[in-house]
Amino acid sequence: MSYPKTTHLMARGAEFLGTEHAILCGAMSWVSERNLVSAISNAGGFGVIACGAMTPELLDTEIAETRKRTAKPFGVNLITMHPQLFELIEVCKRHGVSHVVLAGGIPPKGSVEAIKVGGAKVLVFAPTLALAKKLLRSGGDALVIEGSEAGGHIGPVATSVLAQEFLPALAEEHVVFVAGGIGRGEAMAGYLEMGASGVQLGTRFACASESIAHPDFKKAFFRANARDAVASVQVDPRLPVIPVRALKNKGTEEFTAKQIEVARLLDEGKVDMGEAQLQIEHFWAGALRRAVIDGDVESGSIMAGQSVGMVTKEEPVADIIAQLMEESEAALTRR
């Protein structure tokens, strides 16, 4: 199949990624491992390994195993607050990883430079236009804007608004990918027409046939509607918790209890703010693992975006990408 109009609009993004289509599968902790990442890249998209809380040794193995499964380019997503960030960058460098995505906060001093010394391209996230400009000026090669419809950790602003704010200001000069709430090709076409170089999806790929997520995790996705994917609430104003969007269950309630417990430890001076926030992040990582790997969909965290209602069955990655491209092409042709 050929998709001339979509391919034309994606040309800059595809060239930047070294792929056929400028469609990234955003890193999803525990889900975006060797199997899903290689499947995405083999299908002409761009897979990204979620390093999450992995040690450098584990990341080393994951990259090597992904390489065995695909000769196509893929990226590695590193969380900026990881205590061994610079060792992880070294691992990427040793493997000649072509693209590193820095997520979870402002990149610490020297990190962007350290990645670029190895020749890799750096993708950054930015919650505000001012910060986006700064990061692109100081070495970021491309930007991902991610709206609050997305699964996982989210910002407060919807994708539709971010796109209107960022794309007219940045898309002419820079490669910008749009993420959050994209479930069909028509939406993808819309953002491409606004100047995006490509898109990033997570929720739509989480339950692909090649995803190792537990069958019960996948079933929860197939059953859920958009309104079931809710953002966590912050219970204590002193404890700034980055909201997480996940399917409503006992785990989302347990998170509220966890926040109250950590706030009490703060009150009693038993932890400082950094430690308090780390405890919250570890809570999520553990809860997500329980849902994805063990299939504990009651108290685990089933992170999912609002596009979850459009995920109704297990499908191979190649079919999902083909659908997105076909829907986009049909939409652009109708206009």
Ligand X SMILES: Cc1cc2nc3c(=O)[nH]c(=O)nc-3n(C[C@H](O)[C@H](O)[C@H](O)COP(=O)(O)O)c2cc1C
Binding site for ligand X (CB under 6 A): 26-29, 31, 50, 52, 77, 103, 146, 149-152, 179-182, 200-204, 206, 303-305, 307
| Nearer CB in complex with ligand X: 313/335 | 313
Between CA 53 and CA 96 the distance in angstroms is 21
| Nearer CB in complex with ligand X: 50/162 | 50
CA angle 97, 203, 158 (to 5 degrees): 100
Please count the residues of the chain. 335
Between CA 32 and CA 49 the distance in angstroms is 5
Would you say the C-alpha torsion 103, 107, 110, 112 has a positive or negative sign?
positive
Cα–Cα distances (Å) from 159 to 98, 150, 166, 254, 268, in that order, read 27, 9, 10, 28, 39
- Residue 15's identity, in one-letter code, is E
Shortest separation between residue 32's beta carbon and ligand X, angstroms: 7
| Nearer CB in complex with ligand X: 44/181 | 181
Q: Is 11 helix (H, G, I), strand (E, B) or coil?
A: helix
Question: Tokens at residue 23, please?
Answer: 């469609």
Shortest separation between residue 2's beta carbon and ligand X, angstroms: 25
| Nearer CB in complex with ligand X: 27/135 | 27
Shortest separation between residue 109's beta carbon and ligand X, angstroms: 20
Shortest separation between residue 303's beta carbon and ligand X, angstroms: 4
| Nearer CB in complex with ligand X: 44/75 | 75
Shortest separation between residue 28's beta carbon and ligand X, angstroms: 3
Q: Is 320 helix (H, G, I), strand (E, B) or coil?
A: helix
